[in-house]
Chains A and B, each alone.
Chain A
Amino acid sequence: MNLRNLLLFGFVALLIVLEGTTTAFGLFGGSWNTALGILNMGLISAILALGVNMQWGYAGLFNVGVVGFVALGGLAPVLVSTQPVTEVWTTQGAGRLILALLIGLAVIALAIVLYGRLRGRNRTLAILAVLIGGFFLFRAVFDPAVDVVESFQPATHSNLGGLGLPVLLAWPVGALFAAGAAWVIGKTALGLRSDYLAIATLGIGEIIIAVMKNEDWLARGVKNVISIPRPVPYEVDLQRDPGFIDLAASFGSDPVTASTVAVKLLYAGLFVVILLALIWASEKALNSPWGRMMRAIRDNETAAEAMGKDVTRRHLQIFILGSAVCGLAGAMIVTLDSQLTPGTYNPLRFTFLIWVMVIVGGSGNNWGSVLGGFLIWFLWIKVEPWGHALMGLITSGMAEGALKSHLQDSAAHMRLLTMGLVLLLVLRFSPRGLIPER
């Protein structure tokens, strides 16, 4: 941490403070509520950027399926902390559904065993028979069970529900979900060319989102799950609490504003703890023999292999670790929003934006990723109102008409343009990012 880096972090902090305090030149919102909102998502973005930085910065793995791991992590709060829908936990409902999923797993396991045991044409025929037969068996058991589950109160439930456990427990579970998916995809695509991993992860991301949108029994699909339990108190409860009202009054603020700010601060506290723990762990890991080995593999795979390092295994390891961090962040996002909305998982927002953060911040440097996370998130939020203001300024002299309204409407698309430009400019003129790797 030298002076320059401290100044960079100070600059981002200043941006957030300005957002909270002033409305100067119409550039800032001037509300602590939005400032803290940006801070909270900034913290989560920083965690996501740390995860992607592990894969790209330490090991040079190109993962374009971040959105899938984030979504998978987001599933965890629903499955862990919402109340179980006991009415569908019958043998014909949930019991049969779980049996079907087990059959599916068994079929795949059998196919893998056969692949190892048999050779030649027998192998192809046997695996085809197992997979095709297994698929129809799976559907035969699965479909009726899904009907049972999804026909129960479609307006409010139609899913299995969760386990009713504390929501904080869902965070590590989200990380585990993402790690599991990463293991499967890593086993198939790592060890192939770098572009192939990119395309394989792009695909798995799309598929995870498709599953989450369509499998209503899992988490209600596009019908969304709302009011997921929170780890912090509710605003209305705070507003009724006499102690809190007194506290708010002592700050000279009304209880409603104070309660929303307090809730956001509590979330921020939780996120800061996780972020600091992750930074500490990643810094320790990066500066250990393990971290040096990782960078050696990244810089010259052949040489590392000659030194007896198992490159594919190490790649798999770091791929799983990085994806787990993304899953953790996904669970945190859903906890912060208290709702799971699969329709909002857009790859541009959850994959490519995170990449911009890592590259702008400085790939290979943990602090760089954190800085990039905050800075780019701030820009992402603010570019839209700035774009509107800019368009308003440009079109102010124009006559009312189709062109004017078109220009004003399209200000919303400034975000993508700006992010692309920022990415290209940084890659061209400062390819090592704002805080370069040492």
Chain B
Amino acid sequence: MDFLNAIVALLNFVVIPATSYGAQLALGALGVTLIYGILRFSNFAHGDTMAFGTAMVILVTWAFQSVGIHFGPLPTALLALPFGIAITAALVLATDKAVYRFYRRQKAAPVILVIVSMGVMFIMNGVTRFIIGVGEIRFDDGGRFIVNANEFKKATGLAEGLAFRSTQGLTILTAIIVVAALFWFLNKTRTGKSMRAYSDNEDLALLSGINPERVVAVTWIIAAGLAVIAGTLYGLDKSFKAFNYFQLLLPIFASAIVGGLGSPLGAIAGGFLIAFTEVGFTYAWKKVATYVLPDALAPDGLAQLLSTDYKFAVSFAILVIVLLFKPTGLFKGKAV
């Protein structure tokens, strides 16, 4: 019984939160890695693209709610998602036309593009704050739980409750669908193949008649879509606050680099690796340990390795270790 309780506690406080967080990071990192693969720079504006997209989704959600449109047990934000993606994709494409294209034509050094993306980040951050403010916004509605802690306790007779929030389930499910669709697109469709060809060898791709502007545009649209989905899922799961999205930049970059910049599979692996280590290091293991260990060995303190305020330190430490020992990442990314 104690052992079962330990497993339930572990699922409840570590596995489920880390899986949904990992899915969010993986979606974010996929966007970063795609931009890196095709446009060959680290996009610092990605966090704020997520924030902008989520803000749009929230606005559309509010509009739906005010006219009485709901999505049954699911959050209304899901209905608003396509609109958010469309607006964000339009904004990102406009940004590319107005800003990035000039430097691409010039064949500017990647670091210049990074600085340019910093400027874009400032503007997007400003626009997001301008539209929706800096406060914390919760916008999830619909059913709260797939598995409720109290009902779970009653049904099983265990001392530990298992709570599986619908937003967490939704995050994981959406991530699986999106990733499957993305891989199908990259591997099976003509456009996807031309994107991979462009990423692998720009000159050869150009020689075989691939239109670079089209590849770039498709990349931006996909990256915007991934960013909005990741941002909305994160906002549903936790809450929306513009500054938090800027801070997500570090774990997202860490995921992309750990997996290997430019490698989509790596971004997903990196996202889950970062998420599980972050949660594992910052979770207070006392509860699980008390169930598993004999009384004499049970810990006095919280058995927490690091305070939750240091979760960035965890993703950073993994990043540094990978950079030192395997600079191209776990799944051989590009090293320019």
Contacts and interface: CB of A to CB of B under 8 A. Distances in A.
Contacts of A210: 309-310, 312-313
B110 A417 contact: no
Contacts of B42: 195, 198-199
A340 to B, nearest CB: 18
Nearest to A415: B126
A135 B307 CA distance: 14
A188 B323 contact: yes
A288 interface: no
Interface string B295-309: 000000100010101
B319 interface: yes
Nearest to A419: B122
B310 A200 contact: no
Interface residues of B, number: 50
Contacts of B123: 416-417, 420-421, 424
Contact of B126 (A143, A347, A416, A428): A416
Given A188-B320, A210-B312, A413-B130, A60 B116 contact: no
B316 A207 contact: yes
| Interface of B, helix, strand, loop or mixed by DSSP | helix
Given A192-B327, A198-B114, A420 B122 contact: yes
A416 B127 CA distance: 9
Contacts of A348: 122, 125, 246
Interface stretch (B23-31, B211-219, B250-258): B250-258
Interface in A103-149: 135, 143
Interface string B36-68: 000001101000000000000000000000000
B324 A188 contact: yes
Interface string A282-296: 000000000000000
A417 B126 contact: yes
Given A192-B327, A419-B122, A424-B116, A199 B312 contact: no
A202 B247 CA distance: 10
A203 B110 contact: no
B126 A202 contact: no
Contacts of A202: 249-250, 253
B312 A203 contact: yes
Interface in A391-438: 409-410, 413-421, 423-424, 427-428
A69 interface: no
B118 A355 contact: yes
A127 to B, nearest CB: 11
Interface string B112-147: 101110111111111101110110000000000000
A213 B122 contact: no
B283 to A, nearest CB: 16
A204 B335 contact: no
Contact of A416 (B122, B247, B305): B122
A414 B126 contact: yes
Contacts of B312: 203, 206-207, 210
Contacts of B111: 60, 62, 194-195, 198
B155 interface: no
Interface residues of A, number: 45
B323 A214 contact: no
B119 A194 contact: no
Contacts of B257: 196, 199
A386 interface: no
B177 interface: no
A62 B122 contact: no
Interface in B249-269: 249-250, 253-254, 257, 261
B275 to A, nearest CB: 16
Nearest to B312: A206
B115 A420 contact: no
Contacts of A143: 301
Contacts of B316: 200, 203-204, 206-207
Contacts of B309: 210, 213-214
B314 to A, nearest CB: 10
B307 A214 contact: yes
Nearest to B319: A203
Given A189-B323, A428-B102, A420 B116 contact: no
Contacts of B159: none
A203 B316 CA distance: 6
Interface string B207-249: 0000000000000000000000000000000000000001101
Contacts of A183: none
A359 B253 CA distance: 24
Given A202-B253, A207-B316, A194 B110 contact: yes
Contacts of B112: 427
Contacts of A194: 110-111, 114
Interface in B68-117: 99, 102, 110-112, 114-116
A352 B246 CA distance: 13
A423 B122 contact: yes
Contacts of A427: 112, 115-116, 119
Contacts of B126: 413-418, 420
B66 to A, nearest CB: 13
Interface of B: 41-42, 44, 99, 102, 110-112, 114-116, 118-127, 129-131, 133-134, 246-247, 249-250, 253-254, 257, 261, 301, 305, 307, 309-310, 312-313, 315-316, 319-320, 323-324, 327, 335-336
Given A194-B111, A206-B247, 5 more contacts: A193-B327, A198-B111, A352-B118, A410-B131, A418-B126
16 contacts: A143-B301, A188-B320, A189-B323, A194-B110, A195-B261, A200-B320, A206-B312, A210-B313, A211-B310, A413-B130, A414-B126, A417-B123, A418-B126, A420-B121, A423-B119, A427-B116
Q: Which 5 A-B pairs have the closest CB atoms?
A: A420-B122, A417-B126, A416-B126, A420-B123, A203-B316
Interface of A: 60, 62, 64, 135, 143, 188-189, 192-196, 198-200, 202-204, 206-207, 210-211, 213-214, 347-348, 352, 355-356, 359, 409-410, 413-421, 423-424, 427-428
